[in-house]
A = this chain, B = another copy of it.
């Protein structure tokens, strides 16, 4: 698993929208400042998050972004996979992979599968409700 700036920004954006769930909208600029990201870059990521069904937007004056569902229903893994693609360390661990002749006897494949499962077990069991709670406890205001 590799987290790029794009993924990092996406997760932080969702976190801040979680902190403001049912409170108020945040504009692209609001979010860009909060998470210290270039606003035009973040804009593209927000479009992507919208396509993924994680957020909604209101256009025009007084517009902005909001979560489209309760933070307790969004996991870190879901968001990360939507933005970054598959989290597996190498693509040969997929069931339908056919590009390797030695796949049946490969001793590495089971290792990568273990690594992938270990990571998934972590990120798929963390919700943004939990993260937001932690963030508040850590002193981050909505």
Contacts and interface: CB of A to CB of B under 8 A. Distances in A.
Interface of A: 1-3, 8, 11-12, 15, 36, 76, 89-90, 100-102, 105, 107-108, 111-112, 114-115, 118-119, 121-123, 126, 131, 134-135, 138-140
- Copies of this chain, count: 2
Which residue, of A1, A107, A108, A112, has the highest number of chain B Cβ atoms within 10 A? A107
If over half of A's interface residues share one DSSP class (helix, strand or loop), that class is named, otherwise mixed; here it is helix
B111 A126 contact: yes
Contact of A122 (B2, B76, B118): B118
Given A105-B139, A111-B123, A118-B119, 11 more contacts: A1-B2, A2-B2, A11-B108, A15-B107, A36-B102, A105-B135, A108-B131, A111-B122, A115-B118, A115-B122, A115-B123
